[in-house]
Amino acid sequence: MPIKYQKTKTLITKPNNNSANCIAPNLIYGCFGGCVSTYCYMSRYNGDRVFVNENVDDIFNSVVEWEKTYKKVPDQQDPKYTMVDIACNSDLVLMQKHMPKPLIDYLKRYDDHPRLNTTMATKYPSLLKLDVNHFNKKPRVRVSLMPQSYSDILEPKMQKISDRIQDINRLKSLGWEVHINYSPVVIHKGFITKYDSLFKEVKDVAGENKCEVIFLTNHKYQMLKASEEARQMMSMSNQVKNQQGVMRYELGLKSKGITHFKEQYSKYFNLETIRYIF
């Protein structure tokens, strides 16, 4: 997969109300992860291209300028700090060796800022070795999980789910704030039984953690790229929502899925640990 090094002109920090308070301009747009041919929303239009943006100062300054006009209040993102998603369109843990500067240098910029903190999701927590115990505040990493049998089809050749769960406590010992990212939740025959087993393993190995829950969003372009087995697994997310071809679960089906997910989750964890679910 080709990599293009450039200076991005898209220096827009975007407000967000889910994983973070805002999304930083891309350090890297594109990824080598195994989900690019199934559910990855970034690859719907990007294909197999990877862009590495070298103007790190400009990217960080865009966030700093945006924050000056933002009034932070305690919210589900964080009670104190303005949370910045620094990896919306790539898995920076996987892609960190391609960054123009070391990941820890970029994280430290936010740590030195009195009001900003970082969050990013990864499916490769074993590659995150950075000790951040010396930081002023804990950066957040969201470890993405789904049942292993689903991951085998939708995330081929990626870090095994059990290994990701094992990494949660290791990352905490390195000074990270760790949340779980149940994303995407796939409604499929017997899915509640699969998630029950997943919850039990998380409880036994990593205990209770805050989490976010996002049900699968599908897309016509992704369905064209996916394997037959992956298309079958994603087939219930088939209600077209807009002219761009975005597909989601039918509202009634999704509502039932959320109810069943929460019922099963509550057998192992306090429902208040779910930061958001949709």
> What is the per-residue pLDDT for 1?
66
CB 260 within 8 A of CB 192: yes
Q: What is the pLDDT of residues 60-94, one digit of tens each?
A: 999 999 999 999 999 999 999 999 999 999 999 99
> What is the per-residue pLDDT for 180?
98
> What is the per-residue pLDDT for 196?
98
> What is the per-residue pLDDT for 148?
97
Residues facing residue 119 across a β-bridge = 85, 140
> What is the per-residue pLDDT for 272?
98
Residue ranges in the chain modelled with pLDDT below 70: 1, 42-43, 47
> What is the per-residue pLDDT for 242?
84
In the numeric block, the tokens 């400009």 are attached to 58
What pTM did the predictor assign?
Answer: 0.95
CA–CA distance from 157 to each of 9, 32, 105, 152, 181 (Å)? 34, 11, 29, 7, 19
DSSP string computed for 196-239:
HHHHHHHHHHH----EEEEE-EEEHHHHHHS-HHHHHHHTT--E
**DSSP secondary structure letter of residue 153:** H
> What is the per-residue pLDDT for 245?
81
> What is the per-residue pLDDT for 209?
98
> What is the per-residue pLDDT for 266?
98
- For CA atoms 154, 183, 217, 24, the dihedral sign is negative
> What is the per-residue pLDDT for 61?
98
